[in-house]
Every structure is written in structure tokens, then in C-alpha cells.
Chain A
């Protein structure tokens, strides 16, 4: 594709020759002639002068201006990362599996299967389940009785969608995801054993959600567990029973949400962070990596730490931590000096004045 056409299709301003032929998309370091690269993270701006790429996507905001420009053509845009994502879609295509239902699958007779689906071998689809049009189901997926999956979904290998779970349209579930497993609910009895509380209520995954490999989303005994539209969940994330996750939320790998907690719209939680049960994380709030959130967080706040506190406070505190060992010494020193002063003052007089 000529760079001029690419600039047009990506909605970028072209700086340089539009006649260059672009064949691939590549990283700024590995790019070769014929490649389109991008810089959205300032860390990589230093790579620009040395790149072999034929064109580079750069931000147009004043803050995005690198110290030195590359020697190749530039595509300018307000949002270089989005432009790069769209460029990738133009150049990179995954090969979808063949349409149809593999003869080595076990599909119950009373299921509703949409048009143009692709169902791989060793897939089990339970009684009364429904699969939307053009949905792709990879091998060894199990869809429980009464579950419903929308149109244009991609369900990767070994996913378990348990009975009566509802999955919307354009949802992507990566390998090994489990949706609708039993919540961790037990009543401790007098003899010390734990009685299982049956967990049979609803789990709903709304449209345009993506869930990473080996993540687990539990079902509650009553009420529902819900992940709202456009939310993206990374690998190995745990969502407990009765949790509600808002729209456009980002949950990074290995984070966990305990039972009945509400995560409002546009929240971002970094890797290995955890939120306790029955609290609310307000809209647009952010949680730092490895943080433990033990209380509700107001909308728009940024918390970090274990337990999580205001991010700026935590940064200050973590600097102070380093000085703690010497602080103890200083306080001991003051203790000594005060004792000396007390001694000097008390010295000439009798102890009980």
C-alpha cells in the first residue's frame, strides 16, 4: 500500500513522500525499509533517528515532539497508538478456522446454533444452549446447558462456559477462561467443617468484553455477577461471586476482586492488585500494581499500597520508609540529649524541688 493511501485510511497528516510502498508494520527497533513503525511511548523516542523504517506514526501534541526526527516519512495524528492499532488491522490477518460444526463435537439436539458459526472438534454444547451467528468456538470448549453466546464471539480452546451463563456479542474469551464457576461460599459449622452454599445464580458478560487466558469468573448463590460492555480483563484475573464490573474497565493480569464488590465505569486496576469484598471503586478510579484495596475508593482517585492509600501519599511514604532506620537513631540521640539537659537542670537542686 502506498503511504499516501495509508495516511488517508488512518486519518493521519503525511509529512514526506507519499509514494513509498508500505508492506508491513514493525517495532521501531526492528523496522526495515518497507515497514511502518510508531512511537507513542516517550521512552522510545530516542530510537527515531536510527530507525530503518520507511514511515513512522508520531503524535501531533506538543508534548509528543521528539528531540530528533527520523530520516523517513512521518504520519501525524493526535492519537498515534490508535492509528497504529488500525494500521495493524490493515496488514495483519488471522486465519479463522473453517466454518461449520466439526463431526467430533457433541452438540445437544435442542440447541440454537446461528449462521456461519465455526465449532471445532471436541466441543460440547449442552441442552438448550444458544450460539450466535459467525461465532468461532475453538476445540475442547464446553458450553453448559442453557448458556447463551451472542454473535461474532471468539471462544478460544478449553474455555468453560457454565450452565445458564449469558455472553453478549463480539466477546473474546482466551484459552482456559472459566465463566460461571461456583463462588467460594461456605458456612462454618460448629464442628469446624464448612457447608457448601449452592452457587446457582446468574453470570452475565456484556458486549465487546475481552477476557484473558485462565481467568475465572464465579457465580453467586443469589443475584448476579456482571461484567459490563467494553471491559477488558487480562490473564489470570479472578472475579468473585456477586461482583459487578462497570463499562470500559481495565483489569490487568493477576488482579482479583472479592465478593459483591462494585467496580464502576472506566476504572483501571494494575497487575496483581486486589480489592476486598463488599466495597465500591468509584468511576474512573485507578489502583496501582500489587495494591491491596481494603475500603471503598472515591470516583477519580488513584490509590496504591498495601493497604492502598492515596498514590501521592504512598510515594511520599515509600521515600520516608527508606529513612526509618536512621530515624530511630536520631530519636534515640534526641532522647539522650534531653536526658542530659534534664540532668543539667535537675543537677544542682534536689530531685523533688
Chain B
């Protein structure tokens, strides 16, 4: 693709020769002739001068930028432009159009036009798959499940019975959607009787779910992942949880039952949220935090175990580092106070004399 065409499609301003042919998107250091690269993190600005790329996607001109040794695509949102560029040049490994003969599709399942369904895929009775969906090998879709248009389900994904998935949803390998919630009633003899979990799970449009995630279904009510939510790998979403629009959750985090996470939140890796709480919109939660109470005020950043507002946790952490020295200091002060007490006592007796 000619650079001038790429600039137009990405909505970038072109600085330099628009006739260069671009064949690939590459990182600053790996890029060579024919590649377009990008800088969005100021940390990497200084490395720009050494790149061998034919073009670079850059943010608005700033005084700190070294001159680019190549053509420039100027963008207000260079990272977004980069994402679109990658999509244009990406080559997926999707199965071909049509239904592989080594698949097991129930006779009454509805398969949309131009869907690609790989080998060893099972689609249960009454399930429906939208147009242009891509189903990789060994995916299992339960009876009555509904998958929207333009979805991509990678290998080994399990979509359990009656789960509802919107349009343009991507589910990465091994994820399980609609497994039974962890619900048992303890009986007087100490054993646990299973509470059936048959309620709805709804995944709204434009959601991405990472590899080996587990999203549980509830007994009553529903489990819902809102529009545009992105989940990293190995995340646990318990029954009756609601994750609202555009929230992003990093790997190995877990959300316990009936908790509601607001819109546009971001959770770091290995975060844990307890059950039956609410997290306000635009909340940020730092990696490995454990949140045991609702967060009611929106737009705050929380961190730690138990999670507190980040400034407080950092003050505590700073104090914790000083704790051994503090213990030493208190011990020394105790000694000095004892010395003072000792030196005061004999003086009193002297005065009496």
C-alpha cells in the first residue's frame, strides 16, 4: 500500500514522500525498509532517530522530538492509528469459509452467511451463529446459545447452553462462558447440596475475552459483560456479576458473585473483588489489590490489600519500609527515657541532702 493511501485511511497527516510502498507494521528496532513503525510512549522518542523504517506514526509535533529519519504520519492518537494499521496488514490463520465436514452441527442450528467453522466444532440444538463468524477448531457451542455477527471464537472455547453473545465479540482459546456458578447450600451434616445454575449469561457487543477465562452463570438473574469490555487471560467472573461498558481487566483478576463493576474502570493484574459490592465508574484499581468494600465515588484510584486510595497505600508502604528502623528508634528512645528517669531520681535525693 502506498504511504499516501495509508495516511488517508488512518486519517493521518503525511510528512514526506507519499509514493513509498508500505508492506508491514513493525516495532521501532525491528523495522526495515517497507515498514511503518510508531512511537506513542515518550520513553521511546529518543530511539526514533535510529529506526530503519520507511515511515513512522507519531503524535503531535513536540519540541522534544528528534527529527525522524523517515516519512511521518502525524496523528493526535498515534496508538489508535497504529492499531488500525496493524489490522490492515494483519494476516490471521482463520479457517476457510464454510463448514468443515469434520464438525458436528445440530440440524436445527442456524448458521449465518459466510461463517467459517473449523474441524471438530460442535454446535448444539437450536443454537445460532451470526454472519461472518469465525469458529476455530474444537469450539463447543451448547444448545440454544446465540452468537452474533462477526464474532471470532478461538480454538477450544466452550460456550455453554443458552449463553447470549453480541456482535464483534472475540473469545480467545480455552475460555469458558456459562459454566455453573459456585453455589452450594451447606446441610446440617456438613455436606453441600448443589444449587442449580441455569440463568442467563449475556456478553454484549465488542467484548474481548482472554484465554482460559471462566465466566459463570447464576441460579437466577444474569451474569453480564457490558459493551466494549476487554478481559485479559485467566480471569474469573463469578455468577451474577455485571461488568459495565468499556471496563478493562488485566490477567488473573477475579470478581466474586453479584459484584457490579462500573463503566470505564480499569483493574490491574491479579486484582480480587469480594462479593456483593459495587465499584463506581472510572475507578482504577492497582495490580494485586484486594477490594473488600464498595467504592462509591467515581474516578478514584485504589491500591493495596486491603485496597485504599492509592496515595494512602503509598504512604503506608513508605512507612512500612521504615518500620524496622522505627522499631529500632523506639527501642533507643525507651533506653534514653530510662536514662533520663535514672538521672532525675538521684538528683532529687541530692537536693534533699
Contacts and interface: CB of A to CB of B under 8 A. Distances in A.
Interface of A: 25-27, 30, 41, 43, 79, 81-82, 84-86, 88-89, 92, 94-95, 102, 104, 120-122, 138-140, 156-158, 172, 174-176, 208, 210, 212-214, 230, 232, 234-236, 248, 250, 252-254, 266, 271-272, 289-290, 306, 318, 321-322, 324-325, 327-328, 331, 334-335, 338, 341-342, 345
Nearest to B105: A121
Given A81-B185, A214-B212, A253-B236, A338 B333 contact: yes
A95 B198 CA distance: 11
7 contacts: A41-B276, A140-B140, A140-B156, A235-B176, A254-B272, A321-B316, A342-B340
A175 B176 contact: yes
Given A43-B276, A89-B196, A236-B236, A248 B180 contact: no
Given A82-B187, A289-B290, 7 more contacts: A26-B220, A82-B193, A94-B161, A172-B180, A252-B182, A266-B190, A338-B333
Contact of B214 (A208, A212, A327, A335): A212
Contacts of B182: 212, 232, 234-235, 252-253
Contacts of A341: 340
A325 B315 contact: yes
B349 to A, nearest CB: 15
B337 interface: yes
A235 B185 contact: no
Contacts of A254: 236, 252, 254, 272
A212 B192 contact: no
A270 to B, nearest CB: 9
Interface of B: 102, 104, 120, 122, 138, 140, 143, 156, 158, 160-161, 174, 176, 179-180, 182-188, 190-196, 198, 212-214, 216, 219-221, 234, 236, 238, 252, 254, 256, 270, 272, 274, 276, 290, 292, 305-306, 308, 312, 315-316, 318-320, 322-323, 326, 329-330, 333, 336-337, 340, 343-344
B190 to A, nearest CB: 5
A219 to B, nearest CB: 20
Count chain B CB atoms within 10 A of each CB in A175, A248, A327 and give the residue with the most: A175
A175 B159 CA distance: 9
Most buried by B among A95, A250, A341: A95
Given A236-B214, A250-B192, A342 B238 contact: no
Contacts of B191: 208, 230, 248
B184 to A, nearest CB: 6
Given A174-B176, A176-B158, A325 B195 contact: no
A94 B180 CA distance: 12
Given A85-B194, A121-B104, A139 B122 contact: yes
A303 B144 CA distance: 44
Contact of B319 (A86, A325, A335, A345): A325
Contacts of A84: 185, 195
B127 to A, nearest CB: 13
B200 to A, nearest CB: 11
A230 B192 contact: yes
A338 B336 contact: yes
B236 A79 contact: no
A325 B318 contact: yes
B33 to A, nearest CB: 40
Contact of A213 (B140, B161, B214, B329): B214
Contacts of B216: 212-213, 235
A214 B214 contact: yes
B226 to A, nearest CB: 19
Given A138-B140, A140-B156, A236-B236, A174 B179 contact: yes
Given A25-B220, A324-B323, A345-B343, A122 B290 contact: no
A189 B276 CA distance: 49
A250 B192 CA distance: 9
A82 B190 CA distance: 12
Contacts of B343: 345
Nearest to B336: A338
B176 A289 contact: no
Contacts of A81: 185-186, 195
A51 to B, nearest CB: 13
Given A230-B191, A266-B190, A327-B319, A289 B272 contact: yes
Nearest to A43: B276
A272 B272 contact: yes
